[in-house]
Amino acid sequence: MIDTLMNLLLRCRHRRLTSPLTRLSINGVPRGNPLVVCLDCGKQFEYDLSEMRIGKAIDHSHDVGVVPPRPSMPPTTKVKYAVLATVPVAMVIGAMLKTKKVSSEKNAPPMGEQRTGNPVAPAKRPEKK
């Protein structure tokens, strides 16, 4: 229903298509009829090799597709990737904080001297009497 409404509004003409593909089983044996996929909208269509014509649209269920779906990663692998991704970020943040600290120490006045409001004029020291 939503797909039909989108096609009415956007009107994809399915002009850019892949070459005919045939789904393969795990053993490499072809299963099902050949199909083509629209490169603009991703819709799959049956393809008749004898007439070289596009047929009806194929349902977009998870069972029907050119490439079989890959199972998702186990949660432990996801956690490992998350930890490995945070380590470089923490190192970059630490390096940034360290450079800020070093640059602020370089700009600090030497011990015993005070800064004046005028950066050109040297600081006046009180005279001893």
Q: Model confidence at 14, in pLDDT bands (50, 70, 90)?
A: confident
**pLDDT for res 107:** 63
What's the rounded Cα separation, in Å, for the pair 58 and 65? 9
53-57 sheet: strands from edge to edge: 35-37, 44-48, 53-57
What is residue 11's DSSP assignment?
-
Q: Which of 61, 31, 28 is nearest to 44 (CA)?
A: 61
Check residues 68 and 9 and name the one with the higher pLDDT: 9
* 64 and 42 Cβ atoms separated by less than 8 Å: no
What does the domain layout of the chain look like in residue ranges? 2-57, 71-106
What residue type is 99 in one-letter code? T
Contacts of 32 (CB under 8 A, 6+ apart): 22, 23
Is 70 exceeded by the pLDDT of residue 37? yes
Average pLDDT score, the chain: 75
Q: Name the band, by pLDDT with cuts 50, 70 and 90, for residue 122.
A: low
Q: Per-residue pLDDT tens for 42-58?
A: 888 999 989 999 988 88
**Could you give the percent of the chain with pLDDT greater than 70?**
60
pLDDT digits 0-9 by tens, 99-108:
776 666 666 6
- Confidence (pTM): 0.41
